[in-house]
Amino acid sequence: MYSVDLGGGAMLRPLEPWQAEEFLAHMDRARDTVDPWIPWASISTDLESARATLQRYADKQAADKGRIYGIWLDGTLVGGTMFVTFDVDSGIAEVGCWLEPAGTGRGLITAAVRLLIDWAFRVRGLHRIEWHCRPDNKASSNVARRAGLKLEATLRESYPWKGVRHDTEIWAVLAPEWS
Ligand SMILES: CC(C)(COP(=O)(O)OP(=O)(O)OC[C@H]1O[C@@H](n2cnc3c(N)ncnc32)[C@H](O)[C@@H]1OP(=O)(O)O)[C@@H](O)C(=O)NCCC(=O)NCCS
């Protein structure tokens, strides 16, 4: 299995349906801190739904419409990053991410996101990479800023979550801006 060394004992590797049990155990550790921001942990609450989440990304990958990668820290799955969407025809993809508490504060997501963007631009020839987050999710927008994306717009009340409508910030970087 191939993997990318992120340094400090962290590895970035594909995350696949056969790893559903490990993914669910990680989601159980991540749920409290991820759930307030995105519906990621809440769509993987038991083995069946965790496997379905990973299968959905396996299907996206097979269709070249998205991909998901896990981050292992000292052998434990602590988070990951994904192409939520990946559209070769328009040259546009959206990147997303999450971490459980044990993985935060080390620069792992910033490093992993840079790798994904670099691959999308240099290897796949995409033109625009987006990052969507709530304005009050400062940890998320800090990643976007550190990775070199610019804030372009705020979509008002575009994200209904747990009975409340939130704004969505759209961050993006274009291929000619990437170095
Ligand atoms: C968004 C999220 C993944 C960011 O986690 P994070 O640990 O802040 O991000 P990184 O892995 O890039 O690490 C950056 C932190 O490590 C620190 N750091 C340490 N070494 C670093 C390095 N070599 N390079 C960059 N940052 C480093 C940074 O200073 C920063 O900490 P600070 O914010 O306290 O200054 C996390 O908050 C999370 O999972 N949130 C819930 C899910 C979510 O919101 N996902 C995004 C939806 S849009």
Give me the amino acid identity at 173. V
For the ranges 15-19, 36-40, 134-138, 167-171, the lowest mean pLDDT is seen at 36-40
Which secondary structure element, helix H or strand E, spans residue 87, and what is its range? Answer: strand 76-87
What is the average pLDDT across 2-17? 97
Q: Counting atoms of ligand 1 from 1, which one is nearest the CA of 132?
A: 48
Number of independent structural domains in the chain: 1
Atom of ligand 1 nearest to the CA of 100: 39
> What number of residues does the chain have?
179
How high is the pLDDT of residue 48? Answer: 98
Digit-coded pLDDT (tens) for 36-50: 999 899 999 999 999
The parent domain of residue 171 ranges over: 4-177
| Nearest alpha carbon, ligand 1 atom 41 | 34
| Phi and psi angles of residue 41, each rounded to the nearest 5 degrees, phi first | -70, -30
Residue 139 in contact with ligand 1 by CB distance below 6 A:
yes
Q: What is the CATH number of the domain that holds 167?
A: 3.40.630.30
Instruction: Tell me, rounded to whole angstroms, the distance of Cα 178 from its chain centroid.
Output: 19
CA atoms within 13 A on the CB side of 18: 1
Instruction: Tell the residue nearest (CA) to atom 19 of ligand 1.
Output: 106
Q: Are 99 and 106 spatial neighbours (Cβ–Cβ below 8 Å)?
A: no
Mean of pLDDT values over 28-33: 96
Q: Write down the H helix ranges in 15-171.
A: 20-34, 47-62, 108-118, 138-146
Q: How far is the CA of 97 from the centre of ligand 1 (A)?
A: 10
pLDDT in tens, 111-156: 999 999 999 999 999 999 999 999 999 999 999 999 999 999 999 9
